[in-house]
Amino acid sequence: MIRSNAFLGLCAAAAMLSASSTAHADTLHRQVQRETRMDLPQRGLSMAQVEKRFGAPERKLPVRGGGSRWQPPIHRWVYPGYIVYFEHKIVIHSVADAPAGEHPVR
């Protein structure tokens, strides 16, 4: 009887983890779909090109990294609905903000 209770507990835990992973994957999938429909700065653009095409950002967040050649400076510019990441002065990624009520994928 004890072994069957332990087995049932393990099965319940596995089911909960599976449901959590599925929900996480659905959230990520929706985020990626939303980003593909948005006009975001593309990888390889310079800061000047981004500012010329998309305007000045709402905020420029503090620079991260830059302590060594293995940790280049990462600049982050916040626009309405998305954030642009630069390595040195070149776009490496643009990410849509999470909609209200959803937590960003980490």
Identify the pLDDT of residue 72: 94
To the question of pTM greater than 0.75 for the whole model, the response is no
Instruction: Determine the pLDDT at residue 38.
Output: 82
User: What would the pLDDT profile of 43-63 be if each residue is shown by its tens digit?
Assistant: 999 999 999 999 999 999 999
For residue 44, give every residue at least 6 positions away whose Cβ sits within 8 Å of its Cβ, in sequence order, or none: 90, 91
DSSP string, 23-79: HHHHHHHHHHHHHHHS--PPTT-BHHHHHHHH-S-SEEEEEE--SBTTB--EEEEEE
At residue 105, the pLDDT reads 46
- Spell out the residues 6+ positions from residue 93 whose beta carbon is closer than 8 angstroms to its own: 43, 84, 85
Confidence band for 89, pLDDT divided at 50, 70 and 90? very high
Through-space distance between the first and last CA atoms of the chain, rounded to whole angstroms: 40
- The alpha carbon of 16 is separated from its chain's Cα centroid by a whole number of angstroms, namely 24
In this predicted structure, what is the pLDDT of residue 68? 87
- Look at 68 and 21; give whichever has higher pLDDT: 68
What is the per-residue pLDDT across 15-28, written as a single tens digit (0 to 9) for each?
A: 655 555 565 566 55
